[in-house]
Amino acid sequence: MNQQASRYFVPEPSHWPVVGSTALFLMATGAVLWINKVAFGPYVLLAGFAVLVFMLFGWFGTVIRESEGGKYNARVDASFRWSMSWFIFSEVMFFAAFFGALFYVRVLSVPDLAGLEHQQFLYPGFGSQWPSAGPAFKEHFSPMGAWGIPAINTLLLLSSGATLTVAHWGLLKNNRGQLKLWLAATILLGLTFLSLQAYEYVHAYQELNLKLTTGIYGTTFFMLTGFHGLHVTLGATMLIVILFRVLAGHFKPEHHFAFEAVAWYWHFVDVVWLLLFIFVYWM
């Protein structure tokens, strides 16, 4: 084994971690104050967020410089691959908790609440059917249908997965034009998805009387799609960063893990959407 290749890259001391911790501490404190209606809470939260953005720029800037400076050998690259896979696994488990909640209420708690003894003592007349907003919810609401915007959104996300792959092919063939074009198309599809989802939310609140507070249906609907939306936002932001790096001439056909990591993430977000489409909207 070659001396240089076997040597592992160990970074210099760095202040970015502690800046990041400060950011999270401020954000957590700010959020606590804010939701407990302390006046300056939102400002603390915002300050924390600003520090976080500062940290992200600084830290990723350093990583990109190191990467472009050729400090990352094949071993480091393998490390990145492992770590990204495990990170995505942790995200899978996070969504699993919320899907678990959805299945639990649909299969267990709502039918239970409509069971005989519950009917007799607690909730006369409550019937079990999904969608349900629970026995105490008296207003009328309409659930979100699957075959309007959600179906379009499914198409958008699925095709964005395809365009991203085409962009990747471009990168592998060192065809920068193809790379730029299809990467930009992917971002566009992602942003369209987000706009449609925003529109869908407005529609739900204004026309369907479907809100976060609409019992368990509203709860699971908005929490699941909301967290997914958040992940799409994150994924789209990362794609935009990658686009800028591409425009700056970064990445080589044989060395472009950042691109691949973001692509994995994007595909993961895609798969989650498919499950959402099936279990939240459709069935």
Segment 154-213, which members bind another protein (CB under 8 A)?
Answer: 212-213
- What does the alpha-carbon distance between residue 228 and residue 82 come to, in Å, rounded to a whole number? 23
Is residue 118 a contact residue for another protein (CB under 8 A)?
yes
HSE, CB side, 13 Å, CA atoms: give it for residue 136.
4
The stretch among 1-9, 173-181, 233-241, 264-272 that binds another protein (CB under 8 A) is: 1-9
Is residue 265 a contact residue for another protein (CB under 8 A)?
no
- C-alpha distance from residue 247 to each of 50, 69, 72, 188 (Å): 26, 17, 21, 16
* Comparison of 14 and 174: residue with beta carbon closer to another protein: 14
Tokens of residue 125, six digits: 């007349």
* Comparison of 98 and 185: residue with beta carbon closer to another protein: 98
Among residues 163, 172, 202, 200, the alpha carbon closest in space to that of 280 is found at 200
The packing angle between helices 41-68 and 16-35, to 10°, is 160
Out of 136, 140, 206, 207, the residue judged to bind another protein by CB under 8 A: 136
Is residue 283 a contact residue for another protein (CB under 8 A)?
no
Out of 5, 78, 162, 247, the residue judged to bind another protein by CB under 8 A: 78
Out of 47, 64, 134, 146, the residue judged to bind another protein by CB under 8 A: 134
Out of 219, 228, 246, 262, the residue judged to bind another protein by CB under 8 A: 219
Please state, as a whole number, how many other Cβ atoms lie within 10 Å of the Cβ of residue 11.
10
What is the b/e burial string over 157-168, where b = at least 16 CB atoms within 10 angstroms of the residue's CB? beebbebbebbb
HSE, CB side, 13 Å, CA atoms: give it for residue 102.
22
- What does the alpha-carbon distance between residue 33 and residue 25 come to, in Å, rounded to a whole number? 12
- β partners of residue 255: 252
Question: Site mask, another protein, residues 35-64, x = CB under 8 A?
Answer: xx----------------------x-----
CA 146 to chain centre: 21
Is residue 147 a contact residue for another protein (CB under 8 A)?
no
Contact (Cβ atoms closer than 8 angstroms) between residue 113 and residue 127:
no
Out of 5, 50, 53, 108, the residue judged to bind another protein by CB under 8 A: 108
Among residues 226, 214, 205, the alpha carbon closest in space to that of 273 is found at 226
- β partners of residue 252: 255
- What does the alpha-carbon distance between residue 205 and residue 228 come to, in Å, rounded to a whole number? 19
Out of 39, 69, 97, 249, the residue judged to bind another protein by CB under 8 A: 97
The stretch among 130-138, 148-156, 186-194, 195-203 that binds another protein (CB under 8 A) is: 130-138
Is residue 142 a contact residue for another protein (CB under 8 A)?
no
* Comparison of 102 and 187: residue with beta carbon closer to another protein: 102
Instruction: Tell the smallest beta-carbon distance from residue 5 to another protein (Å).
Output: 11
Binding site for another protein (CB under 8 A): 1, 6-8, 10-18, 20-22, 24-25, 28-29, 31-32, 35-36, 59, 75, 78-79, 82-83, 86-87, 89-91, 93-94, 96-98, 100-101, 104-105, 108-110, 112-113, 117-118, 121-122, 132-137, 212-213, 215-219, 222-223
